[in-house]
A and B are shown apart, each in its own frame.
Chain A
Amino acid sequence: MKGWMKNLRTFSILGFLVAILSGCGRDNLTALVPKGYGADISMQLIILTTVIMTAVLIVVLILFVIVIVRFRKKKGDPTINPEQVEGNKLLETVWTIIPIILVIIMAVPTVFATFHLADDKDKDDNINIEITGNQFWWHFDYKDEEISTSQDLYVPVGTKIYLDLISSDVIHSFWVPSISGKLDVNPENTNTMYIEAYEEGVYFGKCAEFCGDSHSLMDFKVVVVSQEEYDQWVEDMQDFDSDDLELADDAAEGEDLFEDKGCLSCHATDNGEYSEGDAPMGPDLTQFGDRSRLAGYLEPTKENLVDWIVDPEELKPGNEMTGKYSPVDEDEAGKIAEYLMELQPSDVTAEGKEEKE
C-alpha cells in the first residue's frame, strides 16, 4: 500500500512544479495544490493517469503528423491506387496488448486508493462531525462536544476528522478541493468520509451537486486551527450564552427585534439548547460575529448584513428565509445586525488564518 504511494511522490513533486509554473488557481481553493490527505491521494492518481495518457496522446499525435505529412495528396500529384491492405495481425495485437497493460497500471493503484479512502475502522477514535446540507447553507453538528454551528467548519490540523453527511432537502455535494475530493450529501442515507488537513488556514468549500437557484452561492469555509486553538474554541462554544452578553443600546434593541420578528423560530444563538442530531430550520448563529463570510460568500460587513436581512432574495435567489418573517426596515435591520455581530463566543476565529487577496 505505502510502497506505490512513495513511488508516486516523485510524480507528485513534478505535478507540484507544474501547478506552480502555470499558477493554477487560488491557494486553499485549487485541487492542484493539495493540502490535505484525500486531495493528496487524488492528486497522485491524477498525475499517474495524466502522465500515462499524455504518453499515449503523444504517440497518436506523432503517427497523426506523419500520416498527414507523408501520405497527403499534394498539388500536382497524380492519382494513384494504393495497395489495399487488409490489416496486420502483429500491429493490431501490439496496440491491443499495450493499452491493456497501461490500464492495469492505472487500475491497480485506483482500486487500492478507493478501498483505502473508504476504510473507516478508526471512526470511533476520532472527532465525528455530522454535516447537514440545506438549500443553500451547511450545518455542522459536533455530536460528542455537544456544540453546533453553521457555514464555518472548525477542525484541528493534522488529525483525521470523520464527517457524516446528510441532506435535509435535495442532493448536495461536500467539496473542499484543497483538502479532499467530494462526497454527495444525499437525503436518504448518511455518507461518511474523513478529511485531514496538513496546514492551518481557511479553506474554500463548495457545493458540487446542482441543488437549485443559489447552488453557486452555497459556499462554506473549513477553518483549520492548531489542536490547542481547537480545544479552546470548543470550550468557548460550549460556555457561550448569548443572554450574558453586555449589549449597547442599539444591539439590545436588536435582540428584542430578533425575537419579535420571528427570527428565533428558525435560528439559534447559542448552544444552550443543543440536542444531538436536531437539524435546525435556519443556520445556527452562535458564532455569527466570527463568521468569515456572510451568506457563504459576502464580506461580513454591517452593510451587507443589513441588505441581507431586508431582502435576502436579492443576495441568494431561492433561499428559504425570504418571506418567513415579518418585514424589517433598514433601521431595524441595522439594530439586528448590531446584535448579531456581537455573537462572538471565541477568540479563535477565521480572521488572521486567511490571506485575503
Chain B
Amino acid sequence: MSSIAATGKRGFGSFLWDYLTTVDHKKIAHLYIAGGAFFFILGGIEALIIRIQLIKPENDFVSAGFYNEIITMHGTTMIFLAAMPIMIGLMNAAIPLQIGARDVAFPFLNSLSFWLFMFGGLLLNVSFMTGGAPDAGWTNYASLAMNSSGHGVDYYIAGLQIAGAGTLMGGINFLATVVTMRAPGMTYMRMPLFTWASFITSVLILFAFPALTVNLFLLMFDRMFDSAIFDVALGGNTIIYQHLFWIFGHPEVYILILPFFGAFSDIFSTFARKRLFGYTAMVFATMIIAFLGFMVWAHHMFTVGLGPVANSIFSVGTMAIAVPTGIKIFNWLFTMWGGQLKINSAVLWALAFIPSFTIGGMTGVMLGSAVADYQYHDTYFVIGHFHYVIVGGTVFGIFAALHYWWPKMFGRVLNEAMGQVTFWLFFIGFHLTFFIQHFLGLMGMPRRYWVFLKDQGLELGNVISSIGAFFMAAGVIVFVYNIIHSAAKGEKADADPWDARTLEWTVSSPPPYYNFEQLPLVRGLDPLWIEKMEGDGKMSPGEPLDDVHMPNNSFIPFLMGLGFFIAGYGFIHQTDNSLWYIALYGGMAFSIGCMVVRSLKDDYGYYIPKEELQKAVEEEAK
C-alpha cells in the first residue's frame, strides 16, 4: 500500500482506483474540492442564464418553466453542492494537520460522506435529462412543491436526502476528530481559529441537518406515498414546512460562513505576522453566533403572519447577532493593526471580505427590523443581501483559503499575477452585480421573477447587474486556467511558503500520507511560530518513533453511494410504474449489504514500519 503512494509514475487506471477507494483525508479533500468546483461551474452557468434572461424587460431567452428550474437549481447547487463540499474539502485538508493528527477519526466514514454527497448531487442533476429539474425554489416551500407537476421536486427530495446524510456524517466525523485526536499539548484554547470555527460548524451541522432530513421525509411521504402533512385540503399545514426548513436553513447560513471566519483569522494572522487579536473573544463570539443562529429562523418568515409577538422576538434576536459579528470584524482589523501585512492573492480575498461582508451584515441588520422587512422580503434586496454574505463571505473565503492552502494541498504555488487578475475581475463583477439589486428590490422587483415588465424603472439596474455577472465569470475562467497552469509548470512549494504559524506548515507540501512521523509537541497557540521564535523552528516530537497504524483503502463507500443513487431513482419513479420498485429495493438491499459486509468482515488496517519513518525523519534532517 505504501509503495503505491511512494512511486511517482502510475497509470491513469491506478490513479483513478486510488481516488475511488481512498480513505486519506488529504485525497478526500481533493475529491471534495474537485466535486464542489464541478458543481460551482454548473451553478455559475445557471447564474449566467438567469442574468441573460433578465438583461432586458420581458425577455424570452428561456421559458417560464425552465427559468424556474434554473433558479431552483442555481440556489440548490451553489449551497448544497458547491459551497458546502468545497468547505468540507478545506476542513479535510486542514483540520487533521492543524491539530497534529494523522487523519480524521473515521476515515472510512469520511470517504462514505464524500460519495454520498457526489451521488446525491449527480442524482439531483440527472433530473435535467429525465423530464425536468426541481422548480419550486431552493427553499422548496411545501404548497408550491406539492403543486409542482413532474418529478423535479422528487429529485430534490431524494438528491438532498442522500447528499445531506453525507454532510451529517462529515460533521460527526470532525467533532470526533477534534475531541479525540489533538496532538500532545494541543489544548482547545491553542487550536487555530479555522479548526475552532469548523468544530463549532460541525456542532451546527449535527443539530441543523436532522431538521432538513425530517422535512424532506415528510415531503416525500406527501408526494410519493399519499400522506397529507402539507395538504391543506385534507387538514395539513404548509407553514410547518417553512418552520422546519428555516430551523435547518438559518443555521445552514452560519455553517457556510463560520469556517471561513476561521480561515480569514488564520490568514490575517499569518500574513500580518501577528498573533490573532482577542483570540478568546473570537472563539466565544463564534460560539455565540452559532447559538443565536438557532434562535432566529423565523426572521425568514416575518411576512407569514406569525403575529407581532413572534415578529418582535425574532427581530431583536436577529439584530443581536450583529454584536458578536462586529466583535469579529474589529478583532480582524486589530490583528493587522501594528503588524506587517504582506499582500498577495490570498490576502486580497481576505481583505476584500471585510467591507463586502460588512455591507452584507449591515443589510442583515436592516432586514432584521420586521416592519422594514415587510418591504424587503422576497425582493431583490434580499438577493443582494445574501449574495453579499454568501459570495462576499463564503466564496471570497473559498478563494482566500484555496490560495492559502493550495501549496500544502498540491505542492504547487498558484500563479500570483493570475491570482490578482481573478481577484479584480471577480471583485468588481461581484459589486456590480449585487449592489444595485438592493435598490431594484426597493424599487418594486420581487425575487424569482422570470421577467420584469417594461416601463417600471427596472431596466438600468438589471443591465448593470447582468454585466457584473460576466465579469465574475471571466474571473472564474482565469482561475481555472491558473489551476491548469500551476499543475503543469507551477513553482514547487516548500513546507512553509508563507512563513506561517500553525502545524500544517511543519510538514512537507504535499504532506506524506501519514502526515507526521511523530506527532508534534505543542507548546502554545501558534506552535510553529513559538518554535521559530524560541526554538530552532522545528517541532519537537510528542511521542517516541514507533510503527504507525493506518486504515486500508476501501471501495465499499463508492458502492454504497451507488446503491443509494439507484434506490433514490427507484423512489422517484415508482409512482409511474411499480417496476421501479426493483430499483428501490435493489439499491437499498445493495447498500445495506455493503454495510453488512463492512461490519462483519474484519479490517485491521496495516502498519507503517518504524524503519520507514526513521528513514523519512533522517531525510528531512538533511
Contact = CB atoms under 8 A, between A and B. Distances in A.
Interface string A297-320: 100000000000000000001100
Contact of A63 (B236, B273, B320, B333): B333
A215 B444 contact: no
Given A26-B455, A60-B354, A83 B338 contact: yes
Interface string A24-40: 11100111100000110
Nearest to B58: A297
A317 B65 contact: yes
A357 B143 CA distance: 37
Contact of A177 (B305, B334, B375): B375
- What DSSP secondary structure best describes chain B's contact surface? helix
Given A30-B444, A42-B371, A42-B375, A169 B275 contact: no
Given A60-B333, A103-B320, A188-B239, A181 B65 contact: no
B374 interface: yes
B555 interface: no
Contact of B343 (A56, A73, A80, A169): A73
Contacts of A210: 136-137, 141, 144, 378, 447-448
A14 interface: no
A39 to B, nearest CB: 7
B444 A187 contact: no
Interface string B334-358: 1011111111000000010011001
B443 A26 contact: yes
A204 B319 contact: no
Interface in A37-96: 38-39, 41-43, 45-46, 49-50, 53-54, 56-57, 60-61, 63-64, 66-68, 71-73, 77, 79-88, 91-92, 95-96
B80 to A, nearest CB: 18
Q: How large is the interface on B (under 10, 10 to 19, 20 to 34, 35 or more residues)?
A: 35 or more
Interface string B186-203: 000000000000000000
Interface string A200-232: 000010111111111111010000000000000
Nearest to B369: A110
B45 interface: no
Contacts of B16: none
Interface string B418-446: 00000000000000000000010011101
Contacts of A79: 273, 340, 499
A67 B338 CA distance: 8
A189 B340 contact: no
Given A24-B439, A186-B304, A219-B453, A56 B143 contact: no
B253 interface: no
Contact of B326 (A30, A56, A178, A189): A56
A213 B303 CA distance: 22
Nearest to B280: A87
Contacts of B137: 210
A157 B252 CA distance: 45
A318 B65 contact: yes
Interface in B294-353: 303-305, 307-308, 311-312, 315-316, 319-320, 322-323, 326-327, 329-331, 333-334, 336-343, 351
Given A26-B456, A72-B343, A80-B273, A96 B327 contact: yes
A210, A217, A317: residue with the most chain B Cβ atoms closer than 10 Å: A210
Given A87-B280, A210-B136, A71 B366 contact: no
A29 B374 contact: no
B358 A57 contact: yes
A257 interface: no
A191 B307 CA distance: 9
A9 to B, nearest CB: 16
A125 B359 CA distance: 44
B372 interface: yes
A1 interface: no
A175 interface: yes
A175 B399 CA distance: 39
Contact of B141 (A80, A171, A207): A171
Nearest to A84: B275
Given A106-B365, A177-B444, A208-B379, A170 B337 contact: no
A204 B456 contact: yes
Nearest to B357: A60
B365 A49 contact: yes
B362 interface: yes
A118 B336 contact: no
A106 B315 CA distance: 10
B291 interface: no
A88, A175, A216, A297: residue with the most chain B Cβ atoms closer than 10 Å: A216
Interface in B133-184: 136-137, 141, 143-144, 146-147
B371 A45 contact: yes
Contacts of B458: 25
B273 A92 contact: no
Given A26-B444, A60-B358, A100-B323, A71 B341 contact: yes
A115 interface: yes
B274 interface: yes
A208 B377 contact: yes
A114 B457 contact: no
B375 A46 contact: yes
B239 A186 contact: yes
B486 interface: no
B450 interface: yes
A99 interface: yes
B339 A215 contact: no
Contacts of A171: 141, 143-144, 238
B446 A207 contact: yes
Contact of B340 (A46, A73, A217): A73
A352 B303 CA distance: 33
Contact of B315 (A31, A67, A114): A114
A170 B443 contact: no
B579 interface: no
A82 B452 contact: no
Contacts of B442: 24-25, 30-32, 46, 177
A204 B375 CA distance: 14
Contacts of B363: 53
A113 B315 CA distance: 12
Contacts of B311: 114, 118
Contacts of B144: 170-171, 210-212
A330 to B, nearest CB: 22
Contacts of B341: 67-68, 71-73
Contacts of A100: 323
Interface string B354-396: 1100110011011011111111011100000000000000000
B533 interface: yes
Contacts of A356: 455
Contacts of A68: 341, 351
A13 interface: no
B63 interface: yes
B278 interface: yes
Given A64-B354, A210-B447, 4 more contacts: A25-B442, A96-B327, A107-B316, A171-B143
11 contacts: A25-B439, A25-B444, A31-B375, A64-B333, A67-B337, A79-B340, A118-B308, A183-B374, A187-B232, A208-B379, A214-B64
Interface of A: 22-26, 29-32, 38-39, 41-43, 45-46, 49-50, 53-54, 56-57, 60-61, 63-64, 66-68, 71-73, 77, 79-88, 91-92, 95-96, 99-100, 102-103, 106-107, 110-111, 113-115, 117-118, 135, 167, 169-171, 173, 175, 177-178, 180-184, 186-189, 191, 204, 206-217, 219, 297, 317-318, 356-357
3 smallest beta-carbon distances between A and B, as pairs:
A181-B374, A25-B443, A216-B449
Interface of B: 63-65, 68, 136-137, 141, 143-144, 146-147, 232, 236-239, 272-275, 277-281, 303-305, 307-308, 311-312, 315-316, 319-320, 322-323, 326-327, 329-331, 333-334, 336-343, 351, 354-355, 358-359, 362-363, 365-366, 368-375, 377-379, 439, 442-444, 446-453, 455-458, 499, 533
